[in-house]
C-alpha cells in the first residue's frame, strides 16, 4: 500500500526562502556576542533539555528574526508532514521506493509501525529477542565454539553503516577491561584484519559478518580471510558455530557458511542500522540491558522529535542552525569536537550520516539543487583537535561553525573539569575573539615594550563571531548515547527536507565501486584496465 508523501508547494517554499535570504543578508554582519547582550532571554530560549541532553544553540548566528525566518522555512517545507510520513512508513526514500523506519527498531515492545502499509513491529521484536538471547547465551558461556571453548573474542566485519555505528557504540560504552574482547575490521587492507586477529585463538573467537547487501567487496574479502583463519584451526563441521551473519540478504549469509543469521529489512538504511542486529557484537560485549538502554534513549528522542512543536524541537533547531550557516552565511563546512574519549569516532560516524545522506546535487524531482545541500563535516575529539586544526578555526579566513559535545563525567571518580573547561573555553574564544587593541593592551600589561606589542598585536588578535552549538550530558550512558545519535539522525533528515533532497539513497558511491571492480579484474588478469583515461592507466602500470 502506498502512503502519499507530503505535497510540494513550490510557491510557499520560494516565499519562505526569499524571506530567509532577506533576513540572512541583512544580518550577515551581526555579532553573536551582541545578540547575547541584546536579546533578553536568548540563552533560555535556545537552551533545550531533551532525553538527558542539554543543547545550547544561543551561540548560533541567527538573531531572533533569523530564527523566525528559519522556522517559517521549516513550516513551508512541511517538516511536520515529512516527519509524520517517515514514522508512518511512507516511501520517503523515493528513488528506491522504500520506507525509512529506523525508529521502529528502537520502539518499545508493543509498537505498531508499518512499512508501506505492512506491519513490521512484531518481526522487529522477534529478531531483537532472538539476538539478545543469543548474545546472552554467549556471555553466559552456554553457547560455545566448535571445540567446546567459551567465546572470548568477537571480530566484527563490516564497513560504512555496518561498521561506524557499532564501532562508536563499543568505544563509547565498553568497560575498561571487558570480559569479551570486541574487535572491528572494515578496511580491505589486509593489515587491519591481521591486526585484529593478532593474539586471538580461533577456538574462542566468534566472527560476525555484517552487511546489509552481503555483496560489499571489502566485507566479503575480509569475511573470506576470517573464515580461512578459522578453518585452518577448527574441525570443518564446527566452523559454522564461529560464523554469524547479519544481513538484509540472509540467504547470501547462509550460503557463505554462517551458522546463525540475523536479518533486517530493506527499510533500514545502512547508516541508520545500528539499532538492529547490526550491533550484535556490541550486544555480546555489553549485554542486552545496555542495548535496550541505547534503544530507549533513541526512542525518547524519537518521541520528542515527533511530538514537540518545531520551534522547540531539538533536531529541528539543530538543522535550522546548519541551514542558516550553509545558506545564509555560506559556511560550507562544520566541525564536531566530542569532548570525551569514548566519542572519538563520532566525527567519522557523522561524516557518513550527514555526507552520505545530504551530499547530493539534485532535488527530489531530479532537477539540479540550487541550494547548497550538506556541508563537509570533520572533527577530532577534544582536546586533541585543539592542538591540530583549531588554529584555523580561530584565525583562518574561512569561518567553520563548530559543535562541542561535552560529557561532564567521563570516568567514575575522576575530575572531569580539565576536559570540559577546555570545551567551554574554546566556544567562548571562538565567539568573543580578541581585538587588536585588546591584544596589544594585554601584552603591554604583561610588561612587553610598545613596539613589540604593536608588531605582534595583529598576530595575536582573533576575529571571533564564530558560531557554535554545545551539547552537554552528565555521563555517557546507553541512554544518552542513544538520544545523541537519534538527535543527529533526525537533524540530518530535517535538513534533507528543507533542501528538498532524498537523504536516504547514496547513488554517489556506486560509480567508484564499478570502476574499482574493473581495475581489480584487470590487475588479476594481467591486462590493461578498460579505462581510457591516461592518468589511471599510467598509475596502474606502476602498481600492477
Chain residues that interact with ligand F6P, rule: CB under 6 A:
159-162, 211-213, 216, 219, 270-271, 356, 506, 509
**Sole residue written with cell 528538498:** 500
- Residue closer to ligand F6P by CB (options 161, 342) is 161
User: How far apart are CB 151 and ligand F6P at their closest, in Å?
Assistant: 23
The answer to whether residue 356 is catalytic is: yes
User: How far apart are CB 267 and ligand F6P at their closest, in Å?
Assistant: 14
Residue 415 CA, chain-centre distance (Å), reads 28
Q: What b/e readout covers 445-468, taking b as 16+ CB neighbours within 10 angstroms?
A: eeeeeeeebeeebeeebbebbbbb
> Got the DSSP string for 183-220?
EEE--SSHHHHHHHHTT--GGGEEEEEE-SSS--HHHH
- Residue closer to ligand F6P by CB (options 20, 170) is 170
Distance CA 355, CA 271 (A): 11
Instruction: Please calculate the CA angle 299-44-329 and round it to the nearest 5 degrees.
Output: 85
Q: Which three three-digit cell numbers place residue 477? A: 550512558
User: How far apart are CB 509 and ligand F6P at their closest, in Å?
Assistant: 4
- Residue closer to ligand F6P by CB (options 53, 188) is 188
Whether residue 90 contacts residue 325, with contact meaning beta carbons closer than 8 Å, is answered with no
Distance CA 517, CA 188 (A): 13
- Residue closer to ligand F6P by CB (options 312, 507) is 507
How would you classify the pairing of strands 376-379 and 333-339?
parallel
Whether residue 201 contacts residue 152, with contact meaning beta carbons closer than 8 Å, is answered with yes
- Residue closer to ligand F6P by CB (options 407, 501) is 501
- Residue closer to ligand F6P by CB (options 51, 216) is 216
Q: Which residues contact 19 (CB under 8 A, 6 or more apart)?
A: 69, 72, 73
Other CB atoms within a 10 A radius of the CB of residue 384 amount to: 13
From the candidates 8, 112, 330, 387, which is the catalytic residue? Answer: 387
User: How far apart are CB 503 and ligand F6P at their closest, in Å?
Assistant: 12
- Residue closer to ligand F6P by CB (options 160, 297) is 160
User: How far apart are CB 161 and ligand F6P at their closest, in Å?
Assistant: 3
**Sole residue written with cell 546463525:** 260
- Residue closer to ligand F6P by CB (options 135, 268) is 268
- Residue closer to ligand F6P by CB (options 46, 261) is 261
The answer to whether residue 387 is catalytic is: yes
Q: Which three three-digit cell numbers place residue 200? A: 586471538
Phi-psi group of 420: left, alpha or beta (phi > 0 → left; psi -120 to 50 → alpha; rest → beta): alpha
User: How far apart are CB 211 and ligand F6P at their closest, in Å?
Assistant: 3
Among 258, 84, 275, 54, which Cα is nearest to 161's?
275
Q: Which residues contact 365 (CB under 8 A, 6 or more apart)?
A: none
User: How far apart are CB 216 and ligand F6P at their closest, in Å?
Assistant: 3
The answer to whether residue 156 is catalytic is: no
Q: How far is CA 30 from CA 24, 26, 35, 325, in A?
A: 10, 9, 8, 13
Among 235, 213, 209, which Cα is nearest to 222's?
209
Q: How far is CA 218 from CA 199, 215, 382, in A?
A: 23, 9, 31
User: How far apart are CB 500 and ligand F6P at their closest, in Å?
Assistant: 21
User: How far apart are CB 270 and ligand F6P at their closest, in Å?
Assistant: 3
From the candidates 118, 513, 517, 530, which is the catalytic residue? Answer: 513
Other CB atoms within a 10 A radius of the CB of residue 109 amount to: 11
- Sign of the alpha-carbon torsion through 473, 474, 476, 482: negative
From the candidates 114, 218, 356, 495, which is the catalytic residue? Answer: 356
Task: Indicate which residues carry an active-site annotation.
Answer: 356, 387, 513
Amino acid at each position: 500500500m502506498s502512503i502519499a508523501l507530503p505535497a510540494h508547494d513550490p510557491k510557499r517554499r520560494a516565499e519562505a526562502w526569499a524571506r530567509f535570504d532577506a533576513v540572512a543578508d541583512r544580518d550577515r554582519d551581526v555579532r553573536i556576542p551582541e545578540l547575547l547582550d541584546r536579546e533578553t532571554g536568548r540563552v533560555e530560549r535556545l537552551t533545550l533539555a531533551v532525553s538527558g541532553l542539554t543543547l545550547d544553540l544561543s551561540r548560533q548566528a541567527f538573531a531572533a528574526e533569523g530564527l523566525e525566518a528559519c522556522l517559517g522555512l521549516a513550516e513551508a517545507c512541511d517538516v511536520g508532514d515529512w516527519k509524520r510520513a517517515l514514522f508512518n512508513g511512507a516511501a520517503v526514500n523515493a528513488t528506491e521506493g522504500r520506507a525509512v523506519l529506523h525508529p521502529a527498531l528502537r520502539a518499545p515492545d508493543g509498537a505498531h509501525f508499518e512499512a508501506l502499509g505492512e506491519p513490521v513491529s512484531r518481526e522487529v521484536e522477534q529478531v531483537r529477542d532472538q539476538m539478545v538471547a543469543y548474545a546472552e547465551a554467549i556471555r553466559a558461556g552456554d553457547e560455545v565454539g566448535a571445540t567446546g571453548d567459551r567465546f572470548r573474542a568477537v571480530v566484527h566485519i563490516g564497513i560504512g553503516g555496518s561498521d561506524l555505528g557499532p564501532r562508536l557504540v563499543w568505544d563509547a560504552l565498553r568497560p575498561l577491561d571487558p570480559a569479551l574482547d570486541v574487535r572491528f575490521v572494515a578496511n580491505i587492507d589486509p593489515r587491519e584484519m591481521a591486526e585484529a586477529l593478532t593474539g586471538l585463538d580461533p577456538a574462542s573467537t566468534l566472527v560476525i559478518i555484517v552487511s546489509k547487501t552481503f555483496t560489499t567487496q571489502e566485507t566479503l574479502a575480509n569475511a573470506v580471510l576470517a573464515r580461512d583463519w578459522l578453518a585452518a584451526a577448527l574441525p570443518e563441521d564446527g566452523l559454522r558455530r564461529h560464523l554469524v551473519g547479519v544481513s538484509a540478504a540472509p540467504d547470501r549469509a547462509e550460503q557463505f557458511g554462517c551458522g546463525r543469521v540475523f536479518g533486517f529489512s530493506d527499510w533500514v538504511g545502512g547508516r541508520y542500522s545500528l539499532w538492529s542486529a547490526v550491533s550484535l557484537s556490541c550486544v555480546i560485549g555489553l549485554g542486552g540491558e545496555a542495548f535496550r538502554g541505547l534503544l530507549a534513549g533513541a526512542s525518547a528522542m524519537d518521541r520528542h522529535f515527533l511530538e514537540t512543536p518545531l520551534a522547540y524541537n531539538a533536531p529541528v533547531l539543530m538543522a535550522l542552525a546548519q541551514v542558516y550557516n550553509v545558506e545564509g552565511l555560506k559556511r560550507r563546512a562544520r566541525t564536531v569536537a566530542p569532548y570525551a574519549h569514548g566519542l572519538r569516532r563520532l566525527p567519522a560516524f557523522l561524516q557518513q550520516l550527514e555526507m552520505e545522506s545530504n551530499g547530493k546535487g539534485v532535488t527530489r524531482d531530479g532537477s539540479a539543487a540550487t541550494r547548497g545541500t550538506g556541508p563537509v563535516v570533520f572533527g577530532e575529539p577534544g582536546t586533541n583537535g585543539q592542538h591540530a586544526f583549531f588554529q584555523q578555526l580561530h584565525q583562518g579566513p574561512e569561518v567553520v561553525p563548530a559543535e562541542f559535545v561535552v560529557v561532564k563525567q567521563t570516568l567514575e571518580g575522576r575530575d572531569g573539569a580539565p576536559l570540559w573547561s577546555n570545551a567551554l573555553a574554546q566556544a567562548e574564544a571562538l565567539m568573543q575573539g580578541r581585538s587588536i587593541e585588546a591584544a596589544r593592551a594585554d601584552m603591554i600589561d604583561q610588561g612587553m615594550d610598545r613596539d613589540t606589542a604593536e608588531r605582534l598585536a595583529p598576530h595575536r588578535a582573533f576575529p571571533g563571531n564564530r558560531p557554535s552549538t554545545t551539547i552537554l550530558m552528565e555521563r555517557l550512558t546507553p541512554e544518552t548515547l542513544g538520544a545523541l545519535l537519534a538527535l543527529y539522525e533526525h537533524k540530518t533528515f530535517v535538513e534533507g527536507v528543507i533542501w528538498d533532497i532524498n537523504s536516504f539513497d547514496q547513488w554517489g558511491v556506486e560509480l567508484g565501486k564499478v570502476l574499482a571492480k574493473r581495475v581489480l579484474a584487470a590487475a588479476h588478469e594481467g591486462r590493461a584496465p578498460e579505462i581510457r583515461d591516461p592518468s589511471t592507466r599510467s598509475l596502474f602500470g606502476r602498481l600492477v
